[in-house]
């Protein structure tokens, strides 16, 4: 097995009991000014994690920390799975939201549903979004919201293992492979270069106005 492969996600579960957590909450606009793909972990859930207003470049030891927020508790500081409710990641398309979760250390997010664009973005960054029924989500909240406990996710078997229960989940195999193997879509698609070129030549004939610019 390639050492870059990821068949197993294991770690502490942190839970946030809210619906509709939008990508502005996951990473506020202030930090979108970065032109890099990393360094966002410190600003994850910034408005909830800190009392003060931060700026790009500030580190958490310069900030007024909200000690009641879960990710500021010592036991949850190294969580690798986030448990939340409905429509997580709705709103803005910013991939920075996934970069922030990944940089913090989250490898999977379990929710009853996700915003469509966020869901797509996860698979580009090896963060696994797992959709489970609301009743199961509520059971997981009962289990995980009171103390820091481990969870194990078997990617190839599509099973979430709480230690007490094994819960199956659904995800497209092709998307799951992106997480397991960390594939780059650009490289894969460019193998179809000729098909795209043929399509484009035909389109130029059929719909020439698409190709006219001022």
Partner 1 sequence: MAMLNKNFLSLNDMSRTLYDKLWDEHHVSKLDSGESLIYIDRHYLHEVTSPQAFEGLEQKNIKPWRLDANIATPDHNVPTVRGSSFSTDQINDEISKIQVVELDKNCNKFGIKQFDITSNNQGIVHVIGPELGYTIPGMTIVCGDSHTSTHGAFGCLAMGIGTSEVEHVLATQTLKISKLKNMNVVFSGKPMPGVTSKDIILYLIKKIGTAGGNGHAIEFSGDYIESISMESRMTICNMAIEAGAKVGLIAPDKTTIDYVKSHSFLDQDVMDFAINYWESLKSDANACFDKEISIDVSQIKPQVTWGTSPEMAIDFDGSIPAMSKSKNFLLAGSYMGVEEDQKLTDLQFDKVFIGSCTNSRIEDLREAAKVVLGKKVDATIKEAIVVPGSGAVKSEAESEGLDVIFKDAGFIWRDPGCSMCLGMNPDQLSPYERCASTSNRNFEGRQGNLGRTHLMSPAMAAYVAINGRVGNLL
Binding site for partner 1 (CB under 8 A): 17-20, 22, 24-25, 28-30, 32-37, 47, 53, 55-57, 86-87, 90-96, 98, 113-117, 120-121, 124-125, 172-174, 177, 185-190, 192-193, 195-196, 198-200, 202-203, 207-214
User: What is the closest distance, in whole angstroms, from the C-beta atom of residue 210 to partner 1 in the complex?
Assistant: 5
Nearest distance from C-beta of residue 75 to partner 1, angstroms: 23
* Shortest separation between residue 135's beta carbon and partner 1, angstroms: 17
Helix (H, G, I), strand (E, B) or coil at 182: coil
Nearer to partner 1, 3 or 214 (CB): 214
CA 43 to CA 10: how far, in whole Å? 23
What is the rounded distance in angstroms from the CA atom of residue 167 to the CA atom of residue 153?
Answer: 9
Least separation in angstroms between residue 211's CB and partner 1 is 7
DSSP 45: T
The b-or-e profile of 62-76 (16+ CB within 10 A means b, else e) is: ebeeeeebbbbeeee
Report the residue number, 11 or 144, with the smaller CB distance to partner 1. Answer: 144
Rounded Cα–Cα distance for residues 90 and 25 (Å): 10
CB of 193 to partner 1, least distance (A): 8
Burial of 128 (0-12, 13-18, 19+ CB in 10 A): buried
| 22 versus 139: smaller Cβ distance to partner 1 | 22
Q: How far is the CB of 152 from partner 1 (least distance, A)?
A: 27
Two structure tokens written together for 176: 């799951």
42 contact partners, CB below 8 Å, separation of at least 6 = 58, 59, 60, 103
Structure tokens at 185: 């879509």
Nearer to partner 1, 164 or 205 (CB): 205
């Amino acid at each position: 097995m390639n050492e870059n492969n990821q068949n197993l996600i294991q770690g502490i579960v942190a839970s946030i009991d809210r619906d509709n957590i939008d990508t502005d909450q996951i990473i506020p606009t202030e930090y979108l000014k970065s032109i890099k793909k990393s360094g966002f972990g410190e600003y994850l859930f910034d408005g909830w994690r800190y009392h003060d207003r931060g700026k790009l470049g500030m580190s958490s030891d310069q900030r007024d920390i909200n000690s009641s927020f879960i990710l500021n508790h010592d036991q949850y500081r190294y969580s690798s799975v986030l448990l939340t409710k409905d429509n997580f990641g709705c709103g803005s398309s910013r991939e920075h939201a996934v970069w922030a979760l990944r940089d913090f250390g989250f490898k999977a997010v379990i929710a009853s549903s996700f915003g469509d664009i966020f869901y797509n973005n996860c698979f580009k960054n090896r963060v696994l979004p797992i959709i489970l029924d609301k009743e199961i989500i509520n059971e997981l909240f009962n289990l995980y919201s009171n103390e820091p406990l481990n969870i194990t996710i078997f990617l190839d078997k599509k099973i979430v293992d709480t230690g007490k229960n094994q819960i199956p989940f659904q995800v497209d195999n092709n998307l799951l492979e992106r997480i397991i193997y960390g594939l780059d879509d650009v490289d894969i698609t460019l193998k179809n270069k000729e098909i795209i070129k043929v399509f484009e030549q035909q389109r130029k004939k059929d719909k020439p106005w698409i190709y006219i610019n001022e």
